[in-house]
Amino acid sequence: MKFIKHLPNFLTICNALLGCFALFFLFIESFGYSNSEKYHCVILLIFIAVIFDFLDGFFARILKVKSNLGSQLDSFSDLISFAVVPVFFLIYYLSIHEFSLYVKLTPLIIILCSIYRLSKFNLLESSNHFKGLPTPANAMFFLGLPSLVIYLNEFVLISIVLVFSFLMISDLKFYSFKSLKNKDEKQFLFVLILLQLVIIIYFFVSDLDLASLLSFMILAYILSCFIISGINKDASSY
């Protein structure tokens, strides 16, 4: 029974470990993996890390074992898996496509903003929504981006990095999946599912890499949050 109380922290450490493995596979050449194999391996590891990140909070709430130690572990683990890994993952693929040095350095801003966002999150009271774009969502977007870089110029890439960095440290409302009882939360889920279906159908008829689906799904999440927040803000003004 004692282990059960430590289950959330164990899952959090597993999250960090998966992030370390992802960096290992990205930079160690001795395994002989192709760039495509590295790409999909890192995406899979971080996707599993996202699941662990959800489960550690879920079990902490169920078991009622929330602690300051758990919060700090969660932030450091998120920093590895959802900031350091996606940033160096993106830099790695920007280097392959021979972008200029300042474009390769720009993603480092994401790490700085992630540190600020995670530190701020630890100081906020528990809520059913997020202030600022969650780092796991930001990570999934940038993990899908390398498959799209061939379609983007340097100005667009830098703009994307700056916009998403701002979204993380902003006070904008982003919905979570902790509770879907309120009217606006149900509206958010409906719009999100609708947009995701449109994206999935589009991918069936396009020739885009499946990995880029991650980026488009996160864009759908962000757009859904903005749409519902805008609708409810307008409704409250009457």
Residue 226 domain-assigned (yes or no) = no
50-102 pLDDT, tens digit per residue, is: 999 999 888 888 888 877 888 889 999 999 999 999 999 999 888 888 888 98
Q: What are phi and psi of 129, to 5 degrees?
A: -140, 165
Domain assignment present for residue 97? The answer is yes
User: Can you give the pLDDT at residue 221?
Assistant: 94
Report pLDDT for 63: 83
Rounded Cα–Cα distance for residues 3 and 158 (Å): 45
Q: Looking at the domain assignment, is residue 122 inside a domain?
A: yes
In a domain, 136, yes or no: yes
Residue 14 in any domain: the answer is yes
Residue 146, domain extent: 2-175
Whether 224 is covered by a domain: the verdict is no
Q: How far is CA 120 from the centre of its chain?
A: 17
Residues 6+ away with beta carbon under 8 Å from 90: 107, 142, 145, 146
Residue 234: inside a domain = no
Give me the number of domains the chain comprises: 1
pLDDT at 180: 67
CATH code for the domain of 59:
1.20.120
Query: What pLDDT, on the 0 to 100 scale, is given for residue 155?
Result: 93
Mean per-residue pLDDT pooled into runs of 10, the chain (238 residues)? 79 94 81 77 93 88 82 92 94 86 93 93 77 93 89 91 96 80 81 91 81 91 89 56
Q: What is the pTM of this model?
A: 0.89
218 falls within a domain: no
